[in-house]
Structure 1
Amino acid sequence: MVISKKRRDIENCELSGQHRRRQDFFLADLFGYALKGDMTSMEVPLFSLSTKPDLSIWKWESQDGKRCITVTPSVLGRATQHDKDVLIYAISQLTAGVDRSFPDVANRAIRFTAYDYLLATNRGVSGRGYANLKESLARLRGTTLTTNISTGGFQIDEGFGLIDKWRVVASKECPSRMDAVEVTLSAWLHNAVHAFEVLTLHRDYFKLRKPLERRLYELARKHCGRQAMMKIGLDLLRQKAGSRASRKEFRRMVREIMVADNLPEYRILLDHEDKVTLYTKDSTRLVRSLSEHASLCVDAS
């Protein structure tokens, strides 16, 4: 692929950090960054899977009872799995900045263009796309967390929003079109990025349209890790996914996702005993894992 001299100059400038100046926000204008998600929200169901306004208070507790979190929505409803795209985009850019030791990464305020965000997250750049972004920002700001889960070695025992604040700059000529968006991350999320408590996501994550598809991919990515597969009961999976669907309805949705096979990197298998297996699509890695497991079983016998 031929890269223009201008593009090469921009990327070289990014890597050196020469174009960054000290300012009160992080400028999210990087190319070639990896998609990142914070580990806590990949494990804990913070975001609503509903496509309608979710006005209920959500409470989660780890199986050992040591970690808990309460998510309280505003009158607009709890932030959704699709609203999370704003945080993924911001975290991805900020993590790239931390990797490159840019001076502006200390700022929790992150500035980006709405157009770049909409393209990166596989959304249309129509008026509806800009309106959806504004609605996402409002729900993220209105959703409050109360938790004892620490990030970056710090425990914040207070209620705080997923983002502290947001603002949009638009021209007078076209007020519906956002020129710049500024989002201030919570200290909780900002600490997680600087402690590298993040995992790389596949670029096709943004192509997943169903909230549950996205959530199951996150769980597979978080819990499989370097392993080739994870096994989990349907009821526990429903709890980890944060689904309010009945057991029967959740089983049907999981089966649909299994048949569609749209998840990047992973597949789902639901058996007749309601046991769910999430496993890698990398056949070499899968065979190696199964062989190692078989060897351990032989040694144990």
Structure 2
Amino acid sequence: MFHFLKRLFVDIGVDLGTANTVVYVGHKGYVVNEPSVIAYRKGKEIIAVGHPAKEMLGKTHKGITVIRPLADGVIADFVAGEEMIKSFIKQSNIPRFLINRILIGVPTGVTSVEKRAVVESAELAGARKVFLVSEPMAAAIGVGVNVLGSNANMIVDIGGGTTDIAVINYGGLVVDNTIRVAGDEMNESIIRFAKYELNLRIGESTAERIKIENASLANGESRPFLIKGLDVHDGIPRQVELGNHVFEEVFQDVLASITNAIMMTLDKLPPELASDVIDRGIILTGGGALLDGLDAYLRNKVNLPVSRPSNALFCVAEGTRKILENFEMYKPVLFS
């Protein structure tokens, strides 16, 4: 009887990202892959979450507020964050009373206050127990790295709000570094470039679309693309054609920050682990790792092998799935 009841309860894994949230539900697989955006009317009436809310960014009247409840990888607006988490879990069609454990990936540099905010949001969403795991640890497990073994592996997880860097072995983080520079700053770089170099005003959604569809650091023939916006001086709609070779210049500050953070992490590495990192190189994960040519760019800068798995965007969520399926084995890697 006990085992029958135990099978009724469901574990949920969440990659709660600044830009995107992925939810894994036991026995169902991945049920949510949505932007971390929520829209509500005055009086806090929720009208949209995820993709529908993101479509409203920058397009609504004053009576509707559209926000991203997470900033730099953690919950910045507690009420909106709680509602967003509850909405995403509701999409999984799991009754609240059947939710058992919720495992959530968070940045390595998260504070105790920020941890508490995440845990309380998940508890209010219906979780009996809430566990947290560092995003690079979850990403490493998701890629298939043996994080419990003696060999050291270096993970660089580039999300929307943070870049998490860690060297992992024996089930722990030997060295780690979190910088609050990642995909969102790339969007901001495009907005600034358009304003100061092209005299165009563009919004956050437009900048992100340009990044996803056109951004590249790869060598080779430049591909043309259009930036459409409002003229800074007269407000008239205008478009400018550019070649995608421009992005190394546009992203230079962001790329320098990520490269420097990697170098600083390597500098803290115990000498005995140097050979492991030289042999295995760096594994890039997260949505930011999808930037075309980023692996080759970093390879040239740090002089180490750099690889990007095919499931880079889902590595953290996949890691939560594997942890939940082998919970006792991976329990030591979770935050205490």
**TM-score of the alignment, normalized to the shorter chain, above 0.5:** no
Larger strand fraction of residues: 2
**Given the two structures, how large is their TM-score scaled by the length of structure 1?**
0.28
